[in-house]
A and B are shown apart, each in its own frame.
With several copies, the nearest count.
Chain A
Amino acid sequence: MAQAPLTVRIQAEPFDVAAELAGIAAGRTDVGAVVSFTGLCRAEGGALAALELEHYPGMAEEEMRRVAAEAAERWPLQGLVAIHRHGKIAPGEPIVLVVTASAHRAAAFEAAEFLMDYLKTRAPFWKKEHRVDGSQGDWVEAKDVDDKAAERWAR
């Protein structure tokens, strides 16, 4: 099923979740399940003014493509979208979007979770906090729980 259309994009602008969702099954009658995941910037109780997403421009899209191709190889997908933003992102704004389409729901759910777990731990993006008090905050630390989530897909 490596023929499933894979859309991978890295961009500074916000993305249109509705358009991506509508596009993945448009004009088809074989899609039974569409799962979307949208990751948003949280205000962290009001302390956060923005997240700044740094990325490795040469590698980020390549790595996202590798992760997407692996998902398409492991699950019978009919479509896959993965979009990741970079630059400054305000609380409430979307950071990442994953959409998967399949005939059945288990494949669509599992592939979306796999994509997010792998994007979190393998795609070269780093988040830095900007605080509302004007100070530059810390770099967000990687979480063990994310590594553990990614490990469950090992084979």
Chain B
Amino acid sequence: MKIVYFAWVRERIGKPEEELTPPENVRTVADLAAWLASLGEEYAYAFENPTIVRAAIDRKHVKPETPIAGAREIAFFPPMTGG
């Protein structure tokens, strides 16, 4: 699945997007964030405070407990500061 990053999540991980295939036991958005955090220092830094990172599946806001099954694009980003 395609994973995209924005703002300081993108800066910390060092890339705007990537194609990844998480293991089968990664079922929810929270599972995915925890698994990403295990991929290396830069990921651990991005997700060091996992409750602050927001997520969207296929361009809609989702909660940590939302299942990721069937997702084409999952985005992780900080709380929004537009407006």
Partners in one complex: yes
- Interface set of A (CB-CB < 8 Å, partner B): 39, 53-56, 58-59, 62-63, 84, 95-96, 116, 119-128, 139-142, 146
Subset of 10 A-B contacts with CB under 8 Å: A56-B56, A58-B59, A62-B60, A63-B61, A84-B83, A124-B56, A125-B80, A126-B82, A128-B7, A140-B81
* Identity of the chain B residue whose Cβ is nearest the Cβ of A147 in the assembled complex: B79
* Identity of the chain B residue whose Cβ is nearest the Cβ of A119 in the assembled complex: B83
Q: Is B31 in contact with chain A by the CB < 8 A criterion? A: no
Contact between B83 and A126, CB atoms less than 8 A apart: no
Contacts of B59 in A (CB 8 A): 56, 58-59, 62-63
CA of A86 to CA of B77 in the docked complex: distance in angstroms?
Answer: 16
Contact between A142 and B82, CB atoms less than 8 A apart: no
Contacts of B81 in A (CB 8 A): 120, 125-127, 139-142
CA of A54 to CA of B78 in the docked complex: distance in angstroms?
Answer: 12
CA of A17 to CA of B70 in the docked complex: distance in angstroms?
Answer: 42
- Interface set of B (CB-CB < 8 Å, partner A): 4, 6-8, 56, 59-61, 73, 75, 77-83
Contacts of B7 in A (CB 8 A): 54, 126, 128, 139
The one of A55, A121, A139 that contacts B78, using a Cβ cutoff of 8 Å: A139
CA of A128 to CA of B1 in the docked complex: distance in angstroms?
Answer: 28
CA of A141 to CA of B79 in the docked complex: distance in angstroms?
Answer: 8
CA of A146 to CA of B74 in the docked complex: distance in angstroms?
Answer: 25
**A54-B6 contact in complex given A59-B56, A124-B56, A142-B78, C-beta closer than 8 Å:** yes
CA of A27 to CA of B78 in the docked complex: distance in angstroms?
Answer: 33
Contacts of A121 in B (CB 8 A): 79-80
Q: Which of B73, B78, B79, B82 has the most CB of A within 10 A?
A: B82
CA of A16 to CA of B81 in the docked complex: distance in angstroms?
Answer: 23
The one of A62, A139, A146 that contacts B8, using a Cβ cutoff of 8 Å: A139
* Identity of the chain B residue whose Cβ is nearest the Cβ of A140 in the assembled complex: B81
